[in-house]
Amino acid sequence: MMRRNISISNFHIVLITQTGVIYYFMETFSKNKVYVTRKIPEPGPSILNKYFQANMNPEADILDRDTLLENVKNVDALICMLGDKVDSNVMDAAGPNLKIISCYSVGYDHVDIYEATKRKIIVTNTPNVLANTTADLTFSLILSAARNIVNADRHVRIGNWESGWSPDLFLGYDVNGSTLGIIGLGEIGTLVAKRARGFDMQVIYYSKTRKRQMESELDITFVPLEELLRRSDFVSIHVLLNKDSFHMIDESKIKLMKKTAFIINTSRGQVINEQHLINALRNKVIAGAGLDVYESEPISSSNPLTQFAQTVLLPHIGSATFKTRSKMAEVAANNIVNFFNGRGIVHKIN
Ligand code: DGY
């Protein structure tokens, strides 16, 4: 029997020849340490355990800062998620071995990308897998806000539905045939536009870069941001948070919207100046809002947004389905595996 060890990066492949047959298997001796800041679903943990010395916070709850700083010590790779502020302090606490930060999310505004890049630490995310799920949730916010779904449900539950059908009970706004304005035509924005076709909506969009091919494929029209705000019945936000998009929607922009229009946000809360939105809702400048994200999360029940009947408020659940969270775990884990073995896709963002 001939036995040969070939080391590929941190992996060992053992080739065994026996009566002309070649068997190979991957040994899982890797000494690389991975830490996962909050419990993620399978197959994430199994993938990591197969190849690394992996440790995971057994709870889905966020770690307090001191525990996070302690637990990342000497790791080679980190899986982090929204709410973890991965800044220079975390990178210092991890130490010089840290080579990759894998975000269990498509958004990466919780990681200091500048600092990571300076230290030659790769940052990755989980694109593709959550786009359809988030587009679905965007549409449920459009429908719920326009048709009073949440208020009407509460009305039934608390026993207020006393007079049967009524000509003016929970009158709302039509989604079908209305104009949808999409801000940011990335993956999620595009999938929202696709869904809008089923509702015979006219779709206009604004994006930093114009996507001419999409315009003909989806029958959508590029317009400047101001025009989009003036014309839309529903304005749906799908941009990444960065210095250009921070407070992109403020008082001056909200004022351009129709009194009967709704603003929908499933991207990042800081894209809207929340105080300006609250003022606009209070003064009935627009008809309502469907929000999955907020300037600071979680919001408390005393946040003025909760006082309005014309808001639908969700606790940042855009990608929250069993299937999608599992896919995200797989991609986040494989980003690390592929990075160390030098093969396969690594969704790098820096
Ligand atoms: C993301 O991935 O950025 C979402 O906000 C959470 O899944």
Domains of the chain: 31-127+323-341 (3.40.50.720), 131-313 (3.40.50.720)
| Best mutation site among 110, 130, 188 for ligand 1 pocket (most ligand atoms within 8 Å of CB) | 130
Residue 3 has pLDDT above 50, yes or no: no
Q: How far apart are CA 47 and CA 65, in angstroms?
A: 27
Q: How far apart are CA 349 and CA 110, in angstroms?
A: 13
Helices within 255-321 (DSSP H only): 274-282
Beta bridge partners of 6: 13
* Distance, CA of 54 to chain centre: 24
Please give all residues whose beta carbon lies within 6 A of any atom in ligand 1, as ranges.
82, 105-107, 130, 318-319
Which ligand 1 atom is nearest residue 125's CA? 2
Q: How far apart are CA 103 and CA 346, in angstroms?
A: 12
Catalytic residue among 27, 42, 217, 297: 297
Share of the chain above pLDDT 90, in %: 91
Q: How far apart are CA 311 and CA 290, in angstroms?
A: 6
Q: Per-residue confidence at 11, pLDDT binned at 50, 70, 90?
A: very low
Q: How far apart are CA 63 and CA 19, in angstroms?
A: 54
| Beta strand extents in the chain (DSSP E only) | 2-8, 11-18, 21-27, 33-36, 53-56, 77-80, 100-103, 122-124, 179-183, 202-206, 221-222, 234-237, 262-265, 288-291, 311-313
pLDDT at 25: 42
Residue 9 has pLDDT above 90, yes or no: no
Radius of gyration of the chain (CA): 24
Residue 2 has pLDDT above 70, yes or no: no
Cα 100 to Cα 78, 185, 253: the distances in Å are 6, 28, 39
Give the pair of three-digit tokens for residue 265. Answer: 């946000």
Whether residue 298 is preceded by a cis peptide bond, meaning omega within 30 degrees of 0, is: yes
Catalytic residue among 231, 238, 268, 325: 268
- Which positions ≥6 away from 12 have C-beta within 8 Å? 5, 6, 26, 27, 29
Which ligand 1 atom is nearest residue 319's CA? 7
User: Does 316 participate in catalysis according to the annotation?
Assistant: yes
Residue 230 has pLDDT above 50, yes or no: yes
Tell which wins on pLDDT, 35 or 2.
Answer: 35
Residue 1 has pLDDT above 60, yes or no: no
Residue 8 has pLDDT above 80, yes or no: no
User: Does 297 participate in catalysis according to the annotation?
Assistant: yes
Give the pair of three-digit tokens for residue 333. Answer: 């884990």
Which ligand 1 atom is nearest residue 266's CA? 5
pLDDT at 31: 86
pLDDT at 236: 99
Q: What is the pLDDT of residues 282-293, one digit of tens each?
A: 999 999 999 999
Instruction: Kindly report the average pLDDT of the chain as a whole number.
Output: 93
